[in-house]
């Protein structure tokens, strides 16, 4: 990106002044080096989002921002329904409510390394992964609708999770306002055999060790100590979410002119929040959020079973579960007044600060855990939301490293089998049904997650708490 087009606010905050129909400025949170490495398309997409009706304060981009469909991945924008604000399927993304949950294990590094291969094999055997993967749970129409309404609570009620998990899940495991009737039969058909599956792409399950602690007080409140073993799960709403995104993007493009909306880019297809199609999308999207929460809960259930097969006395407790492809109705301060806003986070994680009422009492004083996924050969991070972030970007932070090249480019540069061997030589076991999928997700196809996380910390979006490195990775 041409840094000369930006105004430097600080070393980690940059401004794009409103021009050519932009209602608000663009704000990028990143180091100079990360800015220079961003595609010029990111600048274009940030400014296009700033042209949408009813946008409030700014069009934001997180440190991992890269080109996406309509919105940049790593994009955050809030819209005021009282000012003609819109909701955009492109501002949520296709993998609705894709997110990360991290589990405590109580295991030691020595225990895991003594059984590393056995644990990798049983996890891979137990948790379906890969393109088109199907699970052991098959939902009829009644159960599908119950799942779409109930989310992780639905899974727990059916013995596929622990009641204690719900307190540690965003929205306490169930997104209110879901309307399964707004989800097509085709979307439901795609999902009926996919519950409890990782899917493909950048989705994974990782066994990780804590290698560094940055904030001892918050780490203690989160239940994190040096050399702890954690398990992180990254996946979303699978085929159902993708189908909802596909269908509503088409509908919103067609209907935009009926609402007097001129789209700077067809991929920014949107509709007024209070319109019929806007409300239909909200109902469908909230159902997809529940699908993702239920999916991660079932995978957690399967993971618990797999780990008990190797370590019978171990129980996995949930640290937290948070999504990064959503639109949520939240209250935020605008010009000194509390307003109800629809906050789009696409490839961006909610990062509410200490004291926020949406957080469980056990975590409220420390702030929300922010779970940042790395790649199968690099670090992941646990951060905490800050009070400052609530003012900077509606309590939002980055969600991962962010790609620096396409999957097609990656497969030209690397072979999956070579990557698996290289990582094995480094002590990281990879299990995947697809060698091509491993090549697409090569660690070097992503930005340096350490730089991304440092930028989020230095910008005030979230506070670094702990660094984790992989020991086992199950890849889709």
The catalytic site residues sit at: 399
**450 has binding-site annotation:** no
**460 has binding-site annotation:** no
**475 has binding-site annotation:** yes
**386 has binding-site annotation:** no
CB 348 within 8 A of CB 385: no
**373 has binding-site annotation:** yes
* DSSP code, position 293: H
**4 has binding-site annotation:** no
Listed residue (9, 77, 5, 409) closest to 268, CA to CA: 77
Strands (E), 93-175: 99-104
**335 has binding-site annotation:** no
CB atoms within 10 A of CB 89: 32
Our separate counts of H helices and E strands in the chain read 16, 19
**189 has binding-site annotation:** no
Q: Say what angle helices 276-310 and 116-126 make with each other, to 10 degrees.
A: 140
**23 has binding-site annotation:** no
Listed residue (403, 75, 370) closest to 232, CA to CA: 370
**242 has binding-site annotation:** no
**315 has binding-site annotation:** no
Task: Give the span between the Cα atoms of 76 and 389, in whole angstroms.
Answer: 12
CB atoms within 10 A of CB 270: 32
Task: Give the span between the Cα atoms of 204 and 423, in whole angstroms.
Answer: 15
* DSSP code, position 263: P
**85 has binding-site annotation:** no
**324 has binding-site annotation:** yes
Tell me how far CA of residue 175 lies from CA of 92, 190, 285, in angstroms.
15, 21, 10
Q: What is the maximal distance between C-alpha atoms in the chain?
A: 64
**115 has binding-site annotation:** no
CA atoms within 13 A of residue 14's CA, in its CB half-sphere = 25
CB 378 within 8 A of CB 445: no
CB 302 within 8 A of CB 198: no
What is the SS3 assignment for 28?
Answer: strand
**301 has binding-site annotation:** no
**75 has binding-site annotation:** no
**325 has binding-site annotation:** yes
Q: Which residue has the tokens 């996406």?
A: 68
Burial of 254 from C-beta contacts in 10 A (0-12 / 13-18 / 19+): exposed
CB 320 within 8 A of CB 371: yes
Instruction: Please report which helix (H) or strand (E) contains residue 64, including its range.
Output: strand 55-66
Residues at the binding site are 95, 202-206, 234, 324-325, 373-376, 380, 399-402, 475
Residues at the binding site for GMP are 202-206, 324-325, 373-376, 380, 399-402, 475
Residues at the binding site for Mn(2+) are 95, 203, 234, 324
């Amino acid at each position: 990106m041409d840094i000369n087009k930006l105004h430097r606010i600080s070393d980690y905050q940059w401004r794009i002044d409103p021009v050519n129909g932009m209602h608000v400025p663009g704000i990028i949170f990143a180091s100079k080096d990360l800015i220079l490495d961003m595609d010029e398309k990111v600048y274009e997409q940030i400014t296009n989002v700033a042209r949408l009706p009813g946008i409030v304060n700014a069009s934001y981009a997180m440190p991992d921002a890269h080109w996406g469909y309509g919105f940049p991945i790593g994009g955050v924008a809030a819209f005021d329904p009282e000012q003609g604000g819109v909701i955009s399927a492109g501002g949520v993304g296709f993998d609705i409510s894709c997110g990360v949950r991290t589990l405590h294990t109580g295991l030691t590094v020595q225990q895991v390394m003594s059984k590393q291969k056995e644990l990798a094999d049983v996890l891979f055997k137990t948790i379906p992964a890969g393109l088109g993967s199907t699970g052991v749970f098959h939902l009829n129409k009644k159960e599908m609708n119950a799942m779409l309404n109930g989310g992780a609570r639905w899974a727990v009620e059916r013995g596929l999770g622990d009641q204690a998990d719900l307190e540690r899940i965003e929205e306490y495991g169930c997104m209110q306002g879901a309307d399964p009737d707004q989800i097509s039969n085709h979307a439901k058909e795609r999902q009926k055999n996919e519950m409890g599956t990782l899917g493909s792409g950048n989705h994974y399950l990782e066994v990780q060790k804590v290698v560094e602690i940055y904030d001892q007080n918050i780490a203690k409140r989160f239940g994190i100590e040096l050399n702890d073993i954690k398990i992180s799960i990254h996946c979303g709403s699978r085929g159902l979410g993708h189908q909802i995104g596909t269908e509503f993007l088409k509908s919103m493009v067609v209907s935009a002119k009926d609402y007097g909306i001129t789209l700077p880019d067809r991929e920014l297809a949107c509709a007024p929040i209070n319109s019929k199609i806007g409300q239909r999308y909200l109902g469908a999207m909230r159902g997809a959020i529940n699908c993702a929460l239920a999916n991660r809960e079932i995978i957690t259930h399967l993971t618990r079973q797999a780990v008990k097969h190797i370590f019978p006395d171990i129980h996995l407790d949930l640290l937290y579960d948070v999504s990064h492809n959503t639109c949520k109705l939240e209250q935020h301060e605008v010009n000194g007044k509390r307003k109800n806003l629809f906050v789009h986070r696409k490839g961006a994680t909610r990062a509410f600060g200490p004291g926020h009422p949406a957080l469980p009492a056990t975590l409220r004083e420390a702030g929300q855990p922010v779970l940042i996924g790395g790649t199968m050969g690099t670090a992941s991070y646990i951060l905490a939301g800050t009070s400052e972030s609530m003012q900077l970007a509606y309590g939002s932070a980055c969600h991962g490293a962010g790609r620096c090249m396409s999957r097609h480019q990656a497969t030209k540069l690397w072979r999956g089998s070579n990557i698996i061997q290289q990582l094995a030589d480094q002590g990281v076991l990879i299990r995947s049904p697809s060698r091509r999928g491993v090549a697409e997700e090569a660690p070097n196809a992503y930005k340096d997650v350490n730089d991304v996380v440092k930028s989020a910390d230095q910008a005030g979006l979230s506070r670094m708490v702990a660094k984790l490195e992989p020991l086992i990775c199950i890849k889709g």
